[in-house]
Structure 1
Amino acid sequence: MSELLVVGGGIMGLWAALTAARAGMTVHLVERERLGSGASGGLLGALMPHMPDRWNAKKQFQFDALVSLEREIAELEAETGTSTGYRRTGRLMPLGRPHLRDIALGHEQDALTNWRAADRQFHWHVRDQGGDGWLSANAAEHGVVFDTLAGRVSPRRVLATLRTALMERPNVRIDEGAGIRAIDPAHGRAEREDGSRVTFDHCIIAAGVGSFPLLDALSVPLKTASGTAVKGQAALLKADVDPELPVIFTDGVYIIAHDDGHVAVGSTSENRFADPLATDEQLDDLLRRATILAPCLQHAPVVERWAGLRPKSAGREPTVGRHPDHPNLFLLTGGFKVSFGIAHRLAQFVVDEIAERDTIEIPESFLCRNHIAALREKHL
Structure 2
Amino acid sequence: MAMVDLTVRGAGIFGLSIAWACLRRGASVRIIDPGGPGAGASGGIVGALAPHVPENWNEKKAFQFESLMMAEEFWGGVDAASGLSSGYARLGRLQPIADEAALAMAQARAASAASLWKGQAIWRVISAEQVGAWAPQSPTGLLIEDSLSGRLHPRKACASLAAALTARGVEIRPMAEDEGRIVHATGWQGLLELNDASRRPMGNGVKGQAALFDYDAGDCPQLFADALHIVPHADGTVAVGSTSERDFASPDSTDGALDDVIFRAQQAFPVLRDAPILERWAGVRPRSRSRAPMLGQHPQRAGEFIANGGFKIGFGMAPKVAQVMADLILEGRDAIPEGFRPEASL
TM-score computed with the length of structure 1 as normaliser: 0.86
Cα distance in 2 between the residues matched to 1:211 and 1:42: 19
Say if 2:205 is the partner of 1:229. Answer: yes
2:185 to 185, 190, 206: 206
Displacement after TM superposition at 1:324 (Å) = 5.0
Tell me by how many angstroms 1:295 deviates: 1.1
CA–CA distance in structure 2, aligned partners of residues 278 and 147 of structure 1: 34
Please give the secondary structure, in 1, of the residue aligned with 2:62.
helix
Structure 2 residue 110 is matched with structure 1 residue 131 = no
Question: Which moves more between the two structures, 287-296 or 124-133?
Answer: 124-133
Tell me if structure 1 keeps the 8 A contact 2:4–2:30: no
Could you list the per-position Cα deviations for residues 148-183 of structure 1 after superposition, in whole angstroms to 9, with x for gaps in the alignment?
10010011111111011111123x22112x5xxxxx
1:8 to 7, 10, 22: 10
User: For residues 37 and 168 of structure 1, what CA distance do their matches in structure 2 show?
Assistant: 20
Q: CA deviation at 1:332?
A: 0.4
Between structure 1 and structure 2, the one with the greater Rg is: 1
1:115 to 2:117 alignment: yes
1:161 correspondence with 2:140: no
From the superposition, tell whether residues 370 and 270 of structure 1 become closer, same or farther in structure 2 (CA, over 3 Å): closer
CA distance 1:164–1:308, shift in 2 (3 Å): same
Deviation of 1:303 after TM superposition, in Å, equals: 0.7
SS in 1 for 2:42: helix
- From 284, 288, 295, the equivalent of 1:313 is 288
Equivalent pair of 2:295/2:336 in contact (CA under 8 Å): no
Query: What is the CA-CA distance between 1:357 and the residue it aligns to?
Result: 4.2
**Secondary structure in 2 matching 1:199:** coil
Letter in 1 for 2:297: R
| Aligned 8 A contact 1:43 1:236 in 2 | yes
Q: Alignment partner for residue 318 of structure 2, among 343, 346, 357? A: 343
Query: Unmatched 5+ residue regions in structure 2?
Result: none
SS of alignment partner, residue 139 of structure 1: coil
Contact 2:212 2:277 survives alignment (8 Å):
yes
TM superposition shift of 1:358? 3.8
Measured after TM superposition, the shift of residue 214 of structure 1 is 3.7
1:28 counterpart SS class: strand
Residue type of the alignment partner of 1:213: L
1:37 is displaced (CA, Å) by: 1.1
Identity %: 39
2-structure distance, mates of 1:66, 1:332: 18
How far did 1:27 drift? Answer: 1.5
AA partner of residue 19 (structure 2) = A
Aligned to 1:146: 145
**CA shift for structure 1 position 272:** 1.2
Which portions of structure 1, spanning 4 or more consecutive aligned residues, are displaced by more than 3 angstroms? 213-217, 324-327
> Is the Cα–Cα contact under 8 Å of residues 257 and 264 in structure 1 kept in the other structure?
yes
Tell me how far 1:213 sits from its aligned partner. Answer: 3.4
Task: Indicate the residue corresponding to 1:249 in structure 2.
Answer: 224
Asked if the contact 1:98/1:142 (under 8 Å) is kept, the reply is no
- Match for residue 303 of structure 1 among 278, 285, 294: 278
Q: Return closer, same or farther for 1:107/1:94 CA change in 2, 3 Å cut-off.
A: same
Q: 1:238 aligns with which of 208, 214, 221?
A: 214
**C-alpha distance in 2, partners of 1:154/1:49?**
17
C-alpha distance in structure 2 between counterparts of 1:69 and 1:113, whole Å: 21
Shift of 1:325: 5.7
Aligned mate of 1:46, from 36, 45, 48: 48
Specify the SS of the correspondent of 1:133.
Answer: helix
Q: Is the 8 A contact 1:322 1:369 kept in 2?
A: no
Q: Is the 8 A contact 1:97 1:142 kept in 2?
A: no
Going from structure 1 to structure 2, the CA distance change for 1:21 and 1:288 (only over 3 Å counts) comes to same
* Partner residue, 1:105: 107
| Partners of 2:81 and 2:167 within 8 A in 1 | no
Question: Following the alignment from structure 1 to structure 2, what is the Cα–Cα distance between the partners of residues 46 and 250?
Answer: 13
Give the match for residue 191 of structure 1: none
Is contact 1:135–1:293 with CA below 8 Å preserved after alignment?
no
**Secondary structure at 1:312's aligned position in 2?**
strand
Q: Tell me, which stretches of 5 or more residues in structure 1 are unaligned?
A: 179-196, 376-380
Tell me how far 1:366 sits from its aligned partner.
Answer: 0.1
Measure the CA separation in 2 of the matches of 1:200 and 1:10.
Answer: 19
| 1:37 pairs with one of 31, 36, 39 | 39
> What one-letter code is carried by the residue in structure 2 that aligns with 1:366?
F
Deviations 1:294-351 (A, max 9, x none): 1111110001000000000011111001135644211101010100011121122112
Residue of structure 2 aligned with 1:356, choices 300, 307, 331: 331
Question: 2:177 aligns to what SS in structure 1?
Answer: strand
